[in-house]
Amino acid sequence: MACASTALIIGGGIAGLSSAIALTRIGIQCEVIEKGNPREGASIAFSGRAADALVELGIYDLVCNAGTPFPHNSTVVTMRDSAGRQLSPGPGRPTWPDAKEAVGVYRPTLIRIMTKVAQDLGVKLQYDTTFTGIEHSASGVRVQLSTGEEHMYDFAVGADGINSATRQELFPSAPGPTYSGQLSIRWMAPGPRVQPESWYHSSAGRFGFYYLPEDYVYVPAVIDYPELGRLTDDDVRQLFANLLDSMTAPAVVELRRRLEPTSDLIARPFRWILLPSAWYRDRTLLIGDAAHATTAHLGMGGGMAMEDSVVLAQCIRDAKTIQEAFDTFMGRRYERVRTVVETSVKLSEMEQSNASPAERKLVMEKALATLGNPY
């Protein structure tokens, strides 16, 4: 029997919804509060054990039906030069019996799927709402909401992202996120599939792409940008256009034709944070980007949030106390997540120092082998 019966989850994005689904499935009555719009974004992929987490959450088939599964021998991570010549076949991925195929899905679609599943399970979702105070006691955690309400829960989960207000509340002296020296620009390019799906590199940066249903090609780009400052929409468009113009590969040329002055580009600085263990105080625990945001170089940020949620539910289910559950959670999660964050940061640094694709491939393969172990 679980050591708790009620939980508040702060944040209604991937980490928050996945934890609500996982906890509700073990009998916890969950409420989710969300202050922003978690339905924004481009695409996200889940591979390796993260795909197993989708299965445990009961949403793998729903995500596959709405997204793009990648065969185990997929070459989407193949590295090519600006003319399209192969530089490296990409890192080998560990596999195991009954391993699920990786899947990419439009992020707003994923959020819609998870929201419906959570609501069908009875999760209470409250939008345009945040907390104004958190008070712990031996019997639970009392949370004051921005609506003026005040409720008591057995525990709370901070799943409110890299700029987490919950983290600031629990650990006000903790360092904030660190900028990596690179920008991410993402674009949902309209039109039919372009091949070969791969990563392309030039002196201006790198970008890759893969096809999604409904005639969209997801294009994520990475550009070195040492001094982070305010970028206008025109600045972002120029950086992205310069990257595409620096390449002559036919697939890139085709995508360049689809870029319009009105194309919606999402630019974000690559920032990271790894909160020292432990990620909790009293009865409130941080998960996902609130505790361990990472750059996208391993493509594991969303997957780690999914794994966090599944493991948290297992720990709550099996422990006699909240303290025991949180301690067990930290013992299972910290080193695994540290591998993702530190390897991703290292790969970012290697890109900026012009390390060869072969060198980066070795670093990726070592991390992926570790992450192939069960969570």
Q: Who has greater pLDDT, 93 or 95?
A: 95
Q: Match 């002055």 to its residue by tokens.
A: 261
Q: What is the mean pLDDT of the chain?
A: 94
Q: Which pTM was predicted? A: 0.95
Say what the pLDDT of residue 76 is: 52
Burial 126-140 (b: 16+ CB within 10 A, else e): beebbbeebeeeeeb
Asked if the model's pLDDT at residue 38 lies above 90, the reply is no
Q: What is the arithmetic mean of pLDDT over 354-370?
A: 91
Topology of domain 6-72+96-176+272-371, CATH: FAD/NAD(P)-binding domain (3.50.50)
Residue ranges, comma separated, of all CATH 3.50.50.60 domains in the chain are 6-72+96-176+272-371
Instruction: Report which of 3, 10, 54 is spatially closest to residue 30, judged by C-alpha positions.
Output: 10
* 3-class SS letters over 205-265: EEEECEEECCCEEEEEEEEECCCCCCCCHHHHHHHHHHHHHCCCCHHHHHHHHHCCCCCCE
Phi-psi region of 353 (alpha: psi -120 to 50; beta: other; left: phi over 0): alpha
Main-chain phi, psi angles of 307, to 5 degrees: -60, -45
Instruction: Please determine, for residue 205, whether its predicted confidence score (pLDDT) is greater than 80.
Output: yes
The CA dihedral of 218, 219, 225, 228, to the nearest 10 degrees, is -30
Contact 329, 288 (CB under 8 A): no
More confident residue, 99 or 133: 133
Return the ∠ at Cα 277 (arms to 274 and 281), rounded to 5°: 110
Distance CA 46, CA 370 (A): 16
**Residues 20 and 13 sit within 8 Å (Cβ to Cβ):** no
Query: Residue type at 9?
Result: I
- Condensed to tens digits (0 to 9), the pLDDT of residues 161-183 reads 999 999 999 999 999 999 999 99
Distance between CA atoms of residues 132 and 261, nearest Å: 41
What residue ranges of the chain are covered by domains with CATH 3.30.9.30?
A: 179-271
pLDDT at residue number 223: 97
Q: Which residues pair with 126 in a beta bridge?
A: 33
DSSP at 171:
-
Task: Specify whether the CB–CB gap between 356 and 185 falls below 8 A.
Answer: no
Is the sign of the CA dihedral 339, 51, 2, 137 positive or negative? positive
Q: Are 154 and 5 in contact (CB under 8 A)?
A: yes
Fold for domain 179-271?
A: D-Amino Acid Oxidase; Chain A, domain 2 (3.30.9)
What is the structure's pLDDT at 75?
Answer: 45
For residue 71, pLDDT over 80 is answered with: no
Tokens of 297: 């170089």
The answer on pLDDT for 92 being more than 80 is: no
pLDDT digits (tens, 9 = 90+) for 232-275: 999 999 999 999 999 999 999 999 999 999 999 999 999 999 99
Determine the Cα–Cα distance for residues 290 and 164; give it in Å rounded to an integer: 5
